[in-house]
Amino acid sequence: MNRNPMKGIMDEVIGTAKRKVGELTDNPQLQVEGMAQQVKGKVETAWGKTKEAVSEVLETAELHIDTHAQLKLKVPKADEECRKDT
């Protein structure tokens, strides 16, 4: 399981809270820290989603290769049929 999206969302929420507290207390340093943590969270969430997408693509590709190899052994013309689809 990929923790990046969950950790990213937590960073976004905490960053938002810090930024708001900084605004309410007129603390620019806390506002900047909050904004930085929000950005970090957004990047981490995006990175996690990207990793998940790549993982899914690789799993699909492996399945296709395994299926193609099995079909090729069982049905010699399967290779020709597969190439027609691409």
Domain of residue 26, residue span: 4-85
Q: Taking the CB of residue 19, how many other CB atoms lie within 10 A of it?
A: 19
Count of domains for the chain: 1
DSSP string, 35-71: HHHHHHHHHHHHHHHHHHHHHHHHHHHHHHHHHHHHH
pLDDT digits over 37-71, tens only?
999 999 999 998 888 888 888 888 777 776 666 65
Flag whether pLDDT at 76 surpasses 60.
no
Both tokens of 59, joined, read 């799993």
